[in-house]
Structure 1
Amino acid sequence: MDTQGIAPFELYAIRYARHGGRKAQDNYMGTVDFHDAESDLDYYVWVARRHSEIYVIDTGFEEQSARERGREILISVKDGLALLGVATETVEHVILTHLHYDHAGTLDQFPKAKFHIQDAESAYATGRCMCHPALRHPFNVEDTVSFVRKLYGGQVEFHRGDAELAPGLTLHLVGGHTMGLQVVRVWTQRGWVVIASDATHLYGNIDRQIPFPIVYNVGDMMEGHKLVRRLADSSQHIIPGHDPQVMRRYPALSPDTAGKVVRLDAAPNHSTE
């Protein structure tokens, strides 16, 4: 894509929750033995901002889901967005990478938003695959019902494959983790950054080419790793969906937001490259 004349987006990751005590088999398919294999998971939402344009990427989960699944909320998504001066009540565009509970809760807090999703993801979350408990488990039925209400309220925009939402911001269907998982490619001051979301939960999944165990289609997940690499300017431009290293690799928005909000449009910290 020709980027001449395209203004760059600011790009941020907001860390709102965590899950500790994970084992290697929770993060990697098969038997693995390497440093960081037993990494905890952090939970993020992301924001792409260019002047008055604001795109929120995923909406996280609330306290009830945290209790039910043994996760720890560090800050509500609403309050996390407020650290960037973003009010959920005024957001006009939300990109849902997929509909798992940790990416598509709190939809009701975005009353004015248009929700962008892949055709395949809606079909997956409300179709025959949900007859299988193993595939259904990462979804929250109440969140799915909220999504359907948004659909019937005229607030959902469907995409089939690649789509440009704005110059410098595109969606790309990868599947794998779910049938309709999409990643977000964002033009920033340091080049093309890809919010990979759960196309790769951890840096180790894509770097070592080992699938995450929660998966709809392993082949699509592995092909998704290749697509993410092609879309990003380098491996330093790939942002995984749940890696705690993101908070260490990138500079905080301010001293007050250390451990809460980092800038993904800035170069990674030299000590972690």
Structure 2
Amino acid sequence: MDDIWEVRALKYADRNSRTRADSFVFDDNHDAPHPMDYFIWVLTNGARQIVVDTGYDADEAARRDRPILRDPAKALEDMGLRADAVEEVILTHLHYDHAGSLHRFPNATFHLQEAEMAFATGPCMCHPTLQMPFTADHVCEMVRKVYSGRVVFHQGAGQVAPGVEVHCIGGHSRGLQAVRVKTVSGWLCLASDASHFYENFEAEKPFPIVVDVEDMLAGFRTIRRLASHDGLVIPGHDPLVTERFAIAEAPHIWRLDRGPR
């Protein structure tokens, strides 16, 4: 059926030098190690492919001293997808690690929350703390795509395709959106940075990079409602995803739609 989708997570980077202080505002063991993985996602129903987020490339990796394991566009090629042939991309938000390779997708239409575009180009970017996760070149590239007619803006909830929805969550970034996908296992929620780790939403612990703590806390409950069960909530950066989902189709590709093991 056209509204049932396969979902894959493609890991392109990790950071193993982090601690729990980098992941949780309230925690009793802030010095303990807490690694992070970086993913993009691919949805397919056999006839149609949708890429969720574009990751960041080697240039951005060098600027931020955050090396990548593989170029996200190259990772897509292992699925038989060329970035310059991708027709649809959902951007969960415009932070550097989710929208850092926009130029590699010249023929795509991008789905973005209106609130995110306003946030990334508005007065909040005068504050270095709020500006830090964004890269000006990426934002300017998105503005160019707006002017070329390649952006579809959503306000709150919207449908991208039958069985694929976006829902504005906010919290971590003003226009952060989660992606709800209908699969053979039920409704799956790609939370992206609405919950970086399982522990964020399971224990309702806010992540330190936050615009609105109330929105973030409400978002933890929203992503749980969007999924058929908690096992189908997929955090944006948790290495546990690669352990809970047993189907690895390549060393960096995990099948998610069949549910956790």
- Distance, in Å, in 1 between the alignment partners of 2:235 and 2:96 is 17
Amino acid of the structure 2 residue aligned with 1:76: D
Give me the TM-score of the superposition, normalised by structure 2.
Answer: 0.96
Give a deviation string over 1:29-69, Cα, whole Å, max 9, x none: 033339x9632111000011011211100000011221222
Amino acid of the structure 1 residue aligned with 2:233: I
2:2–2:45 Cα contact (<8 Å) kept: no
Q: Which runs of 5+ in 2 are unaligned?
A: none
Counterparts of residues 41-52 of structure 1 (less than 5 Å): 41-52=36-47
- Distance, in Å, in 1 between the alignment partners of 2:92 and 2:154 is 11
Q: CA deviation at 1:87?
A: 1.1
Identity %: 44
- Distance, in Å, in 1 between the alignment partners of 2:3 and 2:260 is 21
Amino acid of the structure 2 residue aligned with 1:205: N
Runs of 4+ in 1 over 3 A off after TM superposition: none
Alignment coverage as a number of residue pairs: 261
Q: CA deviation at 1:85?
A: 1.1
Q: Which runs of 5+ in 1 are unaligned?
A: none
1:237 aligns with 232
1:20 aligns with 16
1:100–1:139 Cα contact (<8 Å) kept: yes
Counterparts of residues 80-119 of structure 1 (less than 5 Å): 80-119=75-114
1:118–1:181 Cα contact (<8 Å) kept: yes
Q: Name the Cα RMSD after superposition.
A: 1.5
Give a deviation string over 1:66-122, Cα, whole Å, max 9, x none: 122232211111111111111111111100000000000111111110000000000
Q: CA deviation at 1:253?
A: 4.0
2:232–2:260 Cα contact (<8 Å) kept: no
Q: CA deviation at 1:21?
A: 1.1
Aligned pair partner of 2:140 in 112, 120, 145: 145
- Distance, in Å, in 1 between the alignment partners of 2:3 and 2:126 is 45
1:266 aligns with 2:261: no
Amino acid of the structure 2 residue aligned with 1:236: G
Aligned pair partner of 2:4 in 8, 29, 34: 8
Amino acid of the structure 1 residue aligned with 2:12: Y
Q: CA deviation at 1:251?
A: 2.7
- Distance, in Å, in 1 between the alignment partners of 2:16 and 2:65 is 9
Moved more, 174-183 or 69-78: 69-78
Give me the TM-score of the superposition, normalised by structure 1.
Answer: 0.92
- Distance, in Å, in 1 between the alignment partners of 2:180 and 2:108 is 20
Give a deviation string over 1:200-235, Cα, whole Å, max 9, x none: 001111111100000000000000011001010111
